[in-house]
Amino acid sequence: MQSHSWYRRFIHPVFSVAWRDIRITTRYKSWFVASFIWPIIFPFSLIFLGQGLAGPDGEGVESFTALAGTSDYSSFLIVGSLVWMFVNINLWMGGLSLMTDRTRGTFDTHWTMPVSKLALVVGATLASLALNFVPMVVAIGFYAAIGWLEMTGSIVQVILAILTVVPFLLGFLLCFAALTVRFREAGILVQVLRTVFSILCGLQFPLAVLPPVLQSIGAAIPLTHFIDLVRTIVIHGGAVFDHAASVAYLLGSGIALSALGAIAFELVRRSVRSSGLVTGY
């Protein structure tokens, strides 16, 4: 009886919310552009900036090679751009899902349903991950096919590597959703966070270019381990579990953050209910 109730209050709503978000998103034709064209065109600006700095025959790539540990700046930047985009879209779709509900005017209705409120965020995150996973793989395939991405590792290992970051993303988005329930407007926070991640995790440049203090902070963020893992597999090959320490750190911190996120979300839920902050903008 207990498990049935758990299914009805959490699992079923998670999939319902995910399916709802997938249907709403794919209803607009612009979704195709956003999901399949953007991952392909987005890395262009960084690749061409890199080419402008590297020169026609790689004359200016020496400093970059010393910092990044590879002269293949194109693969380095493509992987970084795609990961940045993956995180960014998940922040907008998953982290801001409750704020989007407010804008649509459906937040109050959903909030009063007899289901776990956590399911609203987990479902939106699931939809976001599902909608963005395939385009990322398509983009990697595209760049590998045109020869701009030197794909040494296998795509299966890349997919496995992407799965290791899911607990961290889920935990982070739960914390983030808790903030949006409490403070309502969080669009600016997304803008700031995505740039902070980009800088401290070295998504679009080699982390070694940062001052040592910032490098140390970056090394503590699971996303830094994730981008290193994906870059290593793509550029140098090998398997995910060759990097056991990084995988353990990603999964461990991800599970801990997910638990923390769920607790934070529940505390905020109680707080906004008792202080009457559920409705209104």
Partner 1 sequence: MRSIDDDGRYRSSAAAMFGALRAVFVKNALEFIRYPVNLAFSLVLPVIWFLPIYFLIVSFAPAGQSIGLDAWVGTSSFFEYLPIGLIVGYVIMTVFWNLGFALKRLMDIGMLETIWACPVPRMVYIIGESLFSMARLTVEVVIVLLVYRYLYGFTLPATIVANLFLFVPFLLIMYGLGIGFASLVLLLKDANTLVDTSSFLVSGLTGTQNPPQVFPRFLLAISVGIPITHVIDLLRSRTLGIEPLIDPSMQMAIVAASALLFPVAGVIIFMAVERRSRRLGNLHVH
Q: Which is nearer to partner 1, 68 or 268 (CB)?
A: 68
Query: What single letter denotes the amino acid at residue 249?
Result: Y
φ, ψ for residue 61, nearest 5 deg: -95, -5
Please state the closest distance from residue 167 (CB atom) to partner 1, in A. 26
Inter-residue contact 204 to 78 (CB < 8 Å) = no
Q: Is 53 in the site for partner 1 (CB under 8 A)?
A: yes
Query: What single letter denotes the amino acid at residue 57?
Result: D
Nearest alpha-carbon partner for 102 in 279, 248, 257, 245: 279
| Number of residues near partner 1 (by CB under 8 A) | 45
The encoded tokens of residue 132 equal 């963005």
* Piece in contact with partner 1 (CB under 8 A), picked from 58-66, 119-127, 168-176, 226-234: 58-66
Q: Which is nearer to partner 1, 90 or 204 (CB)?
A: 204
Binding mask 188-217 for partner 1 (x = CB under 8 A): x--xx--x--xx---xxxx--xx-------
Inter-residue contact 265 to 110 (CB < 8 Å) = no
Q: Is 37 in the site for partner 1 (CB under 8 A)?
A: yes
Q: How far apart are CA 217 and CA 151, in angstroms?
A: 30
Inter-residue contact 261 to 171 (CB < 8 Å) = yes
Q: Is 67 in the site for partner 1 (CB under 8 A)?
A: yes
Residue 70, sorted as left (phi over 0), alpha (psi -120 to 50) or beta, turns out to be: beta
Q: Is 54 in the site for partner 1 (CB under 8 A)?
A: yes
Q: Which position among 19, 36, 42, 142 is part of the footprint of partner 1 (CB under 8 A)?
A: 42
**Residues engaged in binding partner 1 (CB under 8 A):** 28-31, 33-34, 37-38, 41-42, 44-46, 48-61, 63-64, 67-68, 73, 77, 188, 191-192, 195, 198-199, 203-206, 209-210
